[in-house]
Amino acid sequence: MPSKFQRARSEEQRAARRRAILDTAAGMLAEMPVSQVTLNELSRRVGLAKSNVLRYFESREDVLLELLATASGELVDHLEQTLTDALDAVPPAERPDRLADRLARALAERPVLCDLISAQSAVLERNVSPQVAAQYKRAAIAHASALATLVAARLPALGESDAFRFVAGALMVTGAVWTHAHPSAAMVAAYEADPALAVLRLDFADTLRETLEVLLSGLLARAGGSGLGS
């Protein structure tokens, strides 16, 4: 049962309680998909009544959007070093495919982030106030811009504008591929019963990498063919 609520009386106490709620939600996401995370269960695990959790976050989606923003920032931090190590000694002609591979690999290593991305537009943004929506979008734009800067620095011919288009497209593709690569139990049974249907069964990492390669190649071709920079 939730413990008796005691109102946080300082900003430090409020911050600690928000952190406890976020940490508990993150722990739940390590056990279950986004679709199974409920406010009732989150409240039970954190030891507060649901009404008291709502003193700190306006909805389940508010909690999950904040976790998505945090995870996106951690991805950018990881890629800042990973892309340097992976690309700086690689011939320019090989950099686009190597970059797509490292980005796809980094995302595949973060299933919780991918699940949150897949739920972002259709679910998580549907039950929040304009204030929470704007706060999340500002963070999302900042992270996408930071990643675009990393991409443009390693593929100069792409330019900042198309680098941002690549990042935005990569995130949309990630959500779509994640959903299709994790079919329902009924679809898995159908694939197993009829091998002819298995052509539609996707491997997340491979499909994402191949799609990012095509997206990046197309943007580079439009930007000036093979001029990948030094």
Report pLDDT digits (tens) over 90-123: 888 999 999 999 999 999 999 999 999 999 999 9
Report the Cα 152 to chain-centroid distance in Å: 20
Q: Higher confidence at residue 225 or residue 130? A: 130
Average pLDDT (75-92) is 90
pLDDT at 225: 52
3-class SS of residue 162: helix
Report the Cα 85 to chain-centroid distance in Å: 22
Average pLDDT (11-33) is 94
pLDDT at 201: 87
CA atoms of 228 and 200, how far apart (whole Å)? 34
Residue of 45, 63, 69 lying closest to 146 (CA atoms) = 69
